[in-house]
Amino acid sequence: MENLPPSVSIDMHPYGRNGTGSPATAFGPTITSFVRPEPVPNPQDFVLWSFFNSMFCNPFCLGFIALIFSVKARDRIIAQDPSAAGSYGRTAKHLNVAALCLGIVGTIICIVVLVVYYNSLLAGSRL
């Protein structure tokens, strides 16, 4: 017999797969997973509430000051600065709550004083 070189087998499977069907390390498909982060909601600016308080419930100019902070919060939202916008928005909210509470209490006190005054006038005129 002749001296022939030893037989060599060549792997002809696509993507580097061996005969058992398991993917080869270097040429296997790559699976990438991507998790989308939750969108961060924009902080509130309370402009309409501040405008209402500055027009109708403005004790000690709290409604006007709240309107100023609301406009600052809206400017910070547009400038893509959510931390400063949140800070200005919370300040505007607290000022709006204070202005509304003081405005309601002041209105109730005025109504009570007027009712007592007119009742005393009517009682005095009956004598």
> In this structure, is residue 88 part of a structural domain?
yes
The pLDDT of residue 12 is 61
> In this structure, is residue 116 part of a structural domain?
yes
- Residue 2 CA neighbour count, 13 Å, CB half: 3
Q: What is the pLDDT of residues 25-52, one digit of tens each?
A: 556 667 777 788 888 788 999 999 999 9
> In this structure, is residue 114 part of a structural domain?
yes
Using an 8 Å Cβ cutoff, are 62 and 29 in contact? no
Q: Band of the pLDDT at 13, cuts 50, 70, 90?
A: low
The pLDDT of residue 32 is 75
Instruction: Name the residue with higher pLDDT: 38 or 79.
Output: 79
Element (H, E) at 59: none
Q: Tell me: pLDDT of 5 over 80.
A: no
> Domain span at residue 102?
44-126
- Say how many domains are in the chain: 1
Q: What is the DSSP string of 42-73?
A: PPP--HHHHHHHHHH--GGGHHHHHHHHHHHH
Say what the pTM is.
0.66
> In this structure, is residue 54 part of a structural domain?
yes
Using an 8 Å Cβ cutoff, are 23 and 15 in contact? yes
